[in-house]
Amino acid sequence: MTSGWISPTIHIHAPDASLVEIVRRVCHDCSRRAYFTAIFTEWYGWDTTCLNCGRSWCDGEWMPLDFCRQSRQRSIDAAKRRWRNSRRKVNE
């Protein structure tokens, strides 16, 4: 019999994007016609973020914003950064 801890193995599944787009549609949060970053990854579906208000949807599910100052602007900046990085990888 062995004593001690069994260390858990954690796998984080983070596939690369397979499709990257900018789309224009009416946002359900700010009710304006706005541009969205749209990133598709297998198993997780479309991840879209409104570039007007920062609200995002993951595979159609409404995602909450962080509870901090400038969370909408941070969400917009993160969406732009992720879109640029994903676009670079898809085009390679």
Q: Which is nearer to Zn ion, 18 or 73 (CB)?
A: 73
CB 7 within 8 A of CB 21: no
**51 makes contact with Zn ion (CB under 5 A):** no
Tokens 């609200």, located at residue: 55
Among 27, 38, 39, 76, binds Zn ion (CB under 5 A): 27
- Cβ burial of 50 (10 Å; 0-12, 13-18, 19+) is buried
Q: How many residues sit in the footprint of Zn ion (CB under 5 A)?
A: 6
**29 makes contact with Zn ion (CB under 5 A):** yes
Residues that bind Zn ion (CB under 5 A): 27, 29-30, 50, 52-53
